[in-house]
């Protein structure tokens, strides 16, 4: 399986709206498997296609995995769409594989209903609560070029971006 490099913020790739997937075929399933492999390897609970520089509405997640990257319940969502969200909010301390070492408390709807195409290209609908709901909304945001730091004040966001720029410079210098 292929392991992709994860795009780090700030990067224009992460600010681009992604295109819908037209067909779930074997090529797409290989990409789904590779994205899961990349996510587990990076010890993340979710990964969206733009984070590996692919401009497609596709995300993978697993909010039930064990501490040692042991697989819980891998899930793939193609063309996910939020069709309903609760008024009741939930706050979660979010992080992102594209913004490593930075976390912030973000408020989002507690429950969402999401329509999507699954691994076999079948249309499904899921009602998600708790961490799964937060993770789905975070990853769907990625498909629209939105990062969790976009919900922070300009001041807080700029501090994180400045630190990320510095970090990327150091990575490139290695
Ligand atoms: Zn993220």
Q: Which residues pair with 24 in a beta bridge?
A: none
Is 160:147 a contact under the CB 8 Å cutoff? no
Domain boundaries, the chain: 12-173
Host H or E run for residue 37: helix 26-41
pLDDT over 70, % of the chain: 98
**3-state DSSP assignment of residue 57:** coil
Is 52:38 a contact under the CB 8 Å cutoff? yes
Specify the pLDDT at position 65.
Answer: 86
Q: Which residue of the set 22, 94, 107, 139 is catalytic?
A: 139
Q: Which residues pair with 112 in a beta bridge?
A: 85, 128
Q: Is 107 a catalytic residue?
A: no
Kindly give the distance from the C-alpha atom of residue 165 to the centroid of ligand 1, in angstroms, as a whole number.
17
Is 139:59 a contact under the CB 8 Å cutoff? yes
Mind listing the pLDDT tens digit for each residue in 7-45? 999 999 999 999 999 999 999 999 999 999 999 999 999
Mind listing the pLDDT tens digit for each residue in 113-150? 999 999 999 999 999 999 999 999 999 999 999 999 99
**Cα 55 to Cα 39: distance, rounded to the nearest angstrom:** 17
Kindly give the distance from the C-alpha atom of residue 138 to the centroid of ligand 1, in angstroms, as a whole number.
6
Topology at the third CATH level for domain 12-173: Peptide Deformylase (3.90.45)
- CA distance readout (Å), 61 to 11, 47, 100, 149: 22, 6, 17, 20
Kindly give the distance from the C-alpha atom of residue 64 to the centroid of ligand 1, in angstroms, as a whole number.
17
Kindly give the distance from the C-alpha atom of residue 87 to the centroid of ligand 1, in angstroms, as a whole number.
23
pLDDT over 90, % of the chain: 93
Kindly give the distance from the C-alpha atom of residue 24 to the centroid of ligand 1, in angstroms, as a whole number.
23
Is 39:60 a contact under the CB 8 Å cutoff? yes
Kindly give the distance from the C-alpha atom of residue 95 to the centroid of ligand 1, in angstroms, as a whole number.
7
Would you say residue 98 has pLDDT above 70? yes
**Cα 104 to Cα 93: distance, rounded to the nearest angstrom:** 5
Query: Residue 29 is encoded by which pair of tokens?
Result: 């399933």
Specify the pLDDT at position 69.
Answer: 66
Specify the pLDDT at position 66.
Answer: 77
> What is the arithmetic mean of pLDDT over 50-69?
91
């Amino acid at each position: 399986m292929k392991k992709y490099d994860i795009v780090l913020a700030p990067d224009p790739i992460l600010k681009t709206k992604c295109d819908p997937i037209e067909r779930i075929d074997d090529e797409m399933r290989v990409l789904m498997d590779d994205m899961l492999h990349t996510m587990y390897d990076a010890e993340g609970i979710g990964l969206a296609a733009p984070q590996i520089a692919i401009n497609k509405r596709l995300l993978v997640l697993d909010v039930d995995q064990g501490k040692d990257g042991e697989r819980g319940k891998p899930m793939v969502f193609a063309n996910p769409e939020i069709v309903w969200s609760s008024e009741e909010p939930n706050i979660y301390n979010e992080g992102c594989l594209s913004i490593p070492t930075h976390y912030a408390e973000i408020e989002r709807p507690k429950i969402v209903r999401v329509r999507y195409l699954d691994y076999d290209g079948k249309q499904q609908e899921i009602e998600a609560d708790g961490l799964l709901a937060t993770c789905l909304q975070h990853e769907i945001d990625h498909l629209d070029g939105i990062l969790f730091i976009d919900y922070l004040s300009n001041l807080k966001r700029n501090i994180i971006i400045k630190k990320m720029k510095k970090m990327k410079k150091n990575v490139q210098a290695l």
